[in-house]
């Protein structure tokens, strides 16, 4: 099925199997998200992409696009709630943007900028969460986990492993690792796994890559997330070129890689100008 839907007054075409968020993205209309990722099974937990569809509240990342839908995304109410929900994510964990290795390449931070978030608003929970630096190439800073489930899905659906899971209930949720000791070093994760690179925050980091791209030259230092997210869709059309994306967290699949962990670093750099302007 295909057809068109209307988002904030813009007519957007969709093709079979697309959700509202994907139809929007392909057409260059940005709806903020954190737990979503193109090519991944919809999840719908962060609730940033909450929109009104024909008057009813829904998550744009899970709702299939249908002909004639009227979608409201940028109403003041929805934008306000989005900002508050982002602030909730900031106070739930411990986020120190200025000192975080991921700063500038972090989707959470970029989404917060997009929403003009100037403070955390809510009282902090000061969560006590441990760091897992046991693995030689990858580290988990649990302070920054937002339970988006992307690493869980990446490991299961893309890497064919089940390295990550989310346990606990309510505010006591935690990211767990599938190994006898519970430590990352004893799991079967590899630095080439998509799960090691999919994290939209600085919770899962590849070691020794933090400052290869200097702060100030990173992706969201240069481009707002609204632009990056939609560009990616546009570039996807010409993906035959093999590079395809300007999202820093998107990496070549292991099959595309040939050079071990270092080959990732290129992908954390802003896209080369010829690719950016060549569209």
Give me the residues that bind another protein (CB under 8 A), please: 42-48, 50, 57, 59, 62-64, 81, 84-85, 88-89, 91-92, 122-123, 125, 146-147, 162, 164-173, 176-178, 180
Q: Which CB, 167 or 240, lies closer to another protein?
A: 167
Shortest distance, CB of residue 67 to another protein, whole angstroms? 16
Shortest distance, CB of residue 207 to another protein, whole angstroms? 23
Shortest distance, CB of residue 91 to another protein, whole angstroms? 7
**Phi, psi (rounded to 5 degrees) for 3:** 165, -155
Token digits of residue 229? 């997210």
Shortest distance, CB of residue 200 to another protein, whole angstroms? 13
Shortest distance, CB of residue 188 to another protein, whole angstroms? 11
Q: Which CB, 96 or 125, lies closer to another protein?
A: 125
**How many CB atoms are located within 10 Å of the residue 140 CB?**
24
Q: Which CB, 76 or 170, lies closer to another protein?
A: 170
Shortest distance, CB of residue 110 to another protein, whole angstroms? 17
Q: Which CB, 147 or 220, lies closer to another protein?
A: 147
Token digits of residue 94? 């411990």
**Phi, psi (rounded to 5 degrees) for 186:** -95, 5
Q: Which CB, 174 or 250, lies closer to another protein?
A: 174
Shortest distance, CB of residue 217 to another protein, whole angstroms? 31
SS3 of 203-257: the string is CEEECCCCCCCCCCCCHHHHCCHHHHHHHHHHHHCCHHHCCCCCCCCCCCCHHHC
- 246-252, long-range: CB < 8 A, 24+ apart: 246/219, 246/270, 246/271, 246/275, 246/276, 247/219, 248/105, 248/218, 248/219, 248/220, 249/105, 249/107, 249/197, 249/198, 249/199, 249/200, 250/197, 251/194, 251/197
Contacts of 55 (CB under 8 A, 6+ apart): none
Shortest distance, CB of residue 10 to another protein, whole angstroms? 23
CA distances from 84 to 60, 252, 262 (A): 18, 34, 38
Q: 35, 55 in Cβ contact below 8 A?
A: no
Q: Which CB, 176 or 210, lies closer to another protein?
A: 176
Q: Which CB, 127 or 269, lies closer to another protein?
A: 127
Contacts of 274 (CB under 8 A, 6+ apart): none
Question: Quick check: helix, strand or coil at residue 98?
Answer: helix
Q: Which CB, 8 or 81, lies closer to another protein?
A: 81
């Amino acid at each position: 099925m295909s057809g068109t839907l209307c988002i904030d007054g813009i007519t957007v075409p969709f093709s079979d199997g697309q959700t509202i968020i994907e139809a929007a993205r392909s057409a260059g209309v940005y709806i903020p998200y954190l737990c979503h990722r193109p090519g991944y099974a919809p999840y719908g937990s962060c609730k940033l992409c909450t929109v009104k569809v024909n008057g009813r509240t829904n998550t744009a990342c899970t709702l299939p696009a249908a002909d004639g839908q009227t979608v409201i995304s940028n109403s003041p109410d929805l934008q306000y709630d989005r900002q508050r929900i982002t602030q909730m994510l900031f106070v739930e964990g411990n986020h120190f943007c200025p000192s975080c290795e991921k700063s500038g390449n972090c989707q959470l931070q970029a989404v917060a900028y997009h929403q003009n978030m100037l403070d955390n608003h809510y009282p902090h929970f000061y969560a006590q969460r441990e760091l897992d630096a046991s693995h030689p190439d990858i580290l988990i800073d649990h302070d920054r986990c937002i339970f988006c489930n992307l690493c869980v899905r990446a490991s299961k659906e893309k890497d064919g492993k089940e390295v990550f899971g989310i346990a606990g209930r309510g505010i006591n949720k935690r990211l767990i690792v599938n190994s006898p000791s519970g430590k990352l070093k004893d799991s079967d994760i590899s630095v080439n796994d998509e799960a090691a690179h999919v994290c939209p925050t600085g919770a899962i980091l590849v070691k020794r890559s933090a400052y290869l791209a200097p702060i100030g030259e990173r992706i969201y230092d240069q481009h707002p997330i609204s632009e990056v997210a939609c560009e990616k869709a546009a570039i996807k059309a010409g993906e035959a070129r093999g590079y395809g994306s300007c999202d820093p967290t998107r990496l070549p699949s292991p099959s595309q890689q040939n050079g071990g962990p270092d080959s990732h670093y290129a992908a954390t750099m802003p896209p080369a100008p010829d690719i950016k302007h060549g569209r």
